[in-house]
Amino acid sequence: MTDLLTIGETMVSLRTPRAMRLGGDAHLSIAGSETNVAIGLARLGHTATWLGAVGNDEPGRLIQRTLRAEAVDTDWIRFSDTDFTGFIAFDQPSHDITRVSYHRRGSAGSTLTASECIAALEGVQPRLLHVTGITPALSETTRAATLAVVQAAAAAGVQVSLDVNYRARLWSRAEATALRELLPHIHTVFASDDELDILTSAEDPIADLLTTATEVVVTAGGKGAWSHTASGTLHSPALPVTVVDSIGAGDAFVSGYLSATLDNLPPEDRLTRATTSGAFCVTALGDWESLPTRQDLTLLTHTQGTALR
3-state percent helix, strand, coil for the chain, nearest multiple of 5: 40, 25, 35
Q: What is the pLDDT of residue 285?
A: 73
Contact 98, 74 (CB under 8 A): no
The pLDDT of residue 287 is above 90: no
pLDDT (mean) for 44-48 = 98
Side-chain-side CA neighbours of residue 270 (13 Å): 25
**Confidence class for position 309, pLDDT limits 50, 70, 90:** low
- Which DSSP category does 262 fall into? H
Mean pLDDT across the chain = 92
pLDDT (mean) for 41-63 = 98
Task: Give tens-digit pLDDT for 14-43.
Answer: 998 888 888 888 999 999 999 999 999 999
The pLDDT of residue 242 is above 80: no
User: Is residue 6 classed exposed, middle or buried when 0-12, 13-18 and 19+ CB atoms within 10 A define those classes?
Assistant: buried
List the helix and strand counts (H, then E) for the chain: 10, 15
Q: What is the pLDDT of residue 265?
A: 96
Cα separation, 78 vs 169, in Å, equals 25
Q: What is the pLDDT of residue 286?
A: 76
Task: Give tens-digit pLDDT for 189-235.
Answer: 999 999 999 999 999 999 999 999 999 999 988 888 999 999 999 99
Catalytic residue among 3, 83, 163, 251: 251
Q: To which H or E segment does residue 198 belong?
A: helix 196-199
251 is catalytic: yes
Distances (CA, A) of 170 to 7, 167, 180: 17, 6, 17
Cα separation, 270 vs 254, in Å, equals 10
Q: What is the pLDDT of residue 17?
A: 82
Instruction: Give the predicted TM-score (pTM) of the model.
Output: 0.94
pLDDT (mean) for 127-141 = 98
3-state secondary structure of 15: strand
pLDDT (mean) for 258-266 = 97
The pLDDT of residue 281 is above 80: no
